[in-house]
């Protein structure tokens, strides 16, 4: 089986070719620019490669309701030129193959559930914390969509008592993304996150916000694993701080062994590393292929 995969991120797009075992055989990446530029590069990449299906996991919000007249569209994103863009329809003009379509974080959650840190489990939640913050939910053996799809990056956390930064989200100001995504780190402290030393107070503040989101996720969804990915989480000192924050927030209330004694194996980094969303898009493509076949 030869499947195409597309990961659409806030900073870059990644396209790849893989198979039903989750093996990526070829890949290319390029900056996230205008839809015309990006779609041109995507079509050029896949042209002539004889893919049997394409899976797409992209930044949102997007319309994932198959009964909607705007299914396959990017909707209210602040990214210039992308709001209202018919992504799937544009791609279908060049490729008559089944297409899987979901958010990039749902794709990452799906990839981790099939081949990564949550393989063998029927639920997990994936956070990506980078240019933006997104949350993908895989529950009881399927991706969760609901009314639209989860937008956990825009929940409203309690502010850290020392935080005077107003927040960077153009919609909500000091939501989780507005306070804890990569651009907010840079705007608050004056340098990019990776330039801050490991003992800088920024990381305790970052853990304060991420820890609240993870705690709320545990209380609301009770997933069997929580996976924290994205560029901000590549700071190795951050994951232990988040685990400790979650333990403190729960204060013994959720008294299960996975949290009380096994939190290091419960809140984890992606098993697929930087390939989580691309592999998840591959899995979406495989699913779309199998759905058409039957």
Shared-domain flag, residues 151 and 284: no
User: pLDDT-based confidence at 239, cuts 50/70/90?
Assistant: very high
Number of domains in the chain: 2
DSSP H stretches of helix in 47-118: 87-92, 104-115
Residue pLDDT, tens place only, 186-202: 999 999 999 999 999 99
Residue 262: which CATH number?
3.30.420.40
Does 294 score more than 70 pLDDT? Answer: no
Shared-domain flag, residues 237 and 180: yes
0.85 exceeded by pTM:
yes
Q: What is d(CA 238, CA 16) in angstroms, rounded to the nearest whole number?
A: 30
Residue pLDDT, tens place only, 61-116: 999 999 999 999 999 888 899 999 999 999 999 999 999 999 999 999 999 999 99
Shared-domain flag, residues 38 and 95: yes
Q: Which helix (H) or strand (E) holds 29?
A: strand 24-31
Shared-domain flag, residues 101 and 130: no
Task: Point out which residues pair with 29 in neighbouring strands.
Answer: 14
Exposure class string for 267-279: b at 16+ Cβ within 10 A, else e: bbbbbbeebbbbb
Shared-domain flag, residues 174 and 258: yes
Domain assignment of residue 202, given as a range: 120-269
The DSSP bridge pattern shows strands 53-58 and 3-8 to be parallel
């Amino acid at each position: 089986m030869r499947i195409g995969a597309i990961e659409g991120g806030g900073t870059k797009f990644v396209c790849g070719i893989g198979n039903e075992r989750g093996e990526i055989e070829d890949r290319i990446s390029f900056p996230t620019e205008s839809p015309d530029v990006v779609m041109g590069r995507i079509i050029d990449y896949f042209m002539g490669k004889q893919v049997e299906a394409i899976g797409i996991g992209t930044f949102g919000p997007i319309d994932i309701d198959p009964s909607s007249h705007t299914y396959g569209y990017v909707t209210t994103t602040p990214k210039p030129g992308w709001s209202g863009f018919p992504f799937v329809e544009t791609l279908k003009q060049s490729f008559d193959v089944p297409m899987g379509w979901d958010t990039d974080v749902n794709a990452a959650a799906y990839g981790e559930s099939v081949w990564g840190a949550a393989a063998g489990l029927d639920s997990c939640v994936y956070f990506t914390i980078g240019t933006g913050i997104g949350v993908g939910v895989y529950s009881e053996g399927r991706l969760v969509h609901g009314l639209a799809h989860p937008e956990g990056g825009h929940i409203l956390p309690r502010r850290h008592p020392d935080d005077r930064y107003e927040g960077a989200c153009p919609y909500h100001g000091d939501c989780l993304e507005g306070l804890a995504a990569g651009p907010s780190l840079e705007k608050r402290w004056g340098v990019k996150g990776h330039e801050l030393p490991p003992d800088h107070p920024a990381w305790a503040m970052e853990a304060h916000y991420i820890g609240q989101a993870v705690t709320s996720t545990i209380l609301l969804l009770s997933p069997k694993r929580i996976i924290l990915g994205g560029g901000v989480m590549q700071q190795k000192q951050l994951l232990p701080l988040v685990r400790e924050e979650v333990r403190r927030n729960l204060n013994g209330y959720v008294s299960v062994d996975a949290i009380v004694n096994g939190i290091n194996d419960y809140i984890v980094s992606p098993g697929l590393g930087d390939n989580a969303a691309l592999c998840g898009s591959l899995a979406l493509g495989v699913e779309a292929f199998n759905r058409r076949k039957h």
